[in-house]
Amino acid sequence: MKNYFRNIIKKIVAIGFTEHTEFQRIISKEVEENRKIITELSEKLEGIPSMMWNLIPEHTHLSGKFFPYKSRESFYSVSKQHNDIDNYGDPVMLPIPPKHLWEGYAETEEGFLETGRVHVSRMMEILSQDNFLIQKDFRVMELGCAAARMLRWLADKAVSGEFWGVDICAEHIIWCQQNLTPPFHFFTTTTEPHLPFPDGYFDFIYAGSVFSHISELADFWLLELRRILKKGGRLYVTIHDRNTINRLFETNPGFFLSGELIKVDKKTNILSTEFDMFTFAMFSSDNKRNPKGAMIFYDIDYLKKKLQVMFTIKSINLEAYGLQTALLLEKI
Q: pLDDT per residue over 133-157, tens digit each?
A: 999 899 999 999 999 999 999 999 9
Residue 88 confidence (pLDDT): 81
Beta-bridged to residue 325, according to DSSP, are 239
Q: What pLDDT digit, counting tens, does each position of 233-254 carry?
A: 999 999 999 999 999 999 999 9
> What's the rounded Cα separation, in Å, for the pair 90 and 240?
32
H-run or E-run covering 64: none
Residue 158 C-alpha from the chain's centroid: 23
Give burial (CB, 10 Å; 0-12/13-18/19+) of 310. middle
107: part of which helix (H) or strand (E)? none
What pLDDT does 245 receive? Answer: 96
DSSP string, 140-187: EEEET-TTTTTGGGGHHHHTTSEEEEEESBHHHHHHHHHHSTTT-EEE
Structure confidence at residue 81 (pLDDT): 78
Rounded CA separation 313/291 (Å): 27
State mean pLDDT over 193-204. 97
- The region of weakest confidence among 64-78, 102-116, 244-258, 286-300 is 286-300
Domain boundaries defined on the chain: 2-58, 99-331
Greatest CA separation for the chain? 85
272-285 in b/e burial notation, b at 16+ Cβ within 10 A? eeeeebbbbbbeee
**Percent of the chain beyond pLDDT 70?**
77
Strand segments, DSSP code E, in 208-293 are 229-241, 277-281
Query: Where is average pLDDT lowest: 10-24, 200-214, 216-230, 246-260?
Result: 10-24
Which CATH number fits the domain 99-331, given the four candidates 3.40.50.1220, 3.30.70.20, 3.90.1150.10, 3.40.50.150? 3.40.50.150
Q: Nearest CA to 133 among 43, 234, 246, 34?
A: 234
For the ranges 30-44, 84-98, 187-201, the lowest mean pLDDT is seen at 30-44
What's the confidence (pLDDT) of residue 48?
A: 46
Q: Taking 70 as the threshold, does the pLDDT of residue 20 lie above it?
A: no
